[in-house]
Homo-oligomer: A and B are copies of this chain.
Amino acid sequence: MKRLVRFGVSLDHHLLDDFDRLISGKNYTSRSEALRDLIRDNLVGQEWDENKETVGTITIVYDHHVHDLTEKLTDLQHRYHRLILSAMHVHLDHDSCLEVLVVRGKGSEIKRVADTLIATKGVKHGKLTMTTTGKGLG
């Protein structure tokens, strides 16, 4: 069950003015929402540091004309199918494909999948994004 608690924060009025300007530029509608985001982002970083079960997205851009590359990437994804929740493929242009995988597991396992995909010859760019299962991040 969700239960909201409320507490007071005190800070210098100059600092608050600057923060209000920053968050309105980012389209936040309340300070609480902006502060919750800062807090949750810190907690997500800790989830990954502590190698807990978590969620990441792996983004790769590659040229599908490279011989055998599509097969190799598909094979790798099957080898790790237990960790990969879902995948999406986008045709960027005649040559370039972008693929995003949503991966769930321990931080270290997700990193291994990302390293392997990104190191595959023909993959032009790859990035691991660390996010969260959302559990407990009320």
User: Which residues of B are found within 8 Å of A61, using beta-carbon distances?
Assistant: 55, 131-134, 137
Copies of this chain:
4
Contact at A125–B96, with CB atoms within 8 Å? no
Which of the four size classes fits the interface of chain A? 35 or more
Whether a CB of chain B sits under 8 angstroms from the CB of A82 is: no
Which residues of the partner chain B approach A102 to less than 8 Å between Cβ atoms? 88, 90, 98, 100
Chain A contact residues, CB within 8 Å of chain B: 2-16, 18-19, 22-23, 25-44, 46, 55, 57, 59, 61-63, 85-88, 90, 92-93, 95-96, 98, 100, 102, 104, 115-116, 118-119, 121, 123-127, 129-138
* Pairs A-B, 6 closest by C-beta atoms: A12-B138, A96-B134, A88-B88, A15-B138, A38-B38, A14-B138
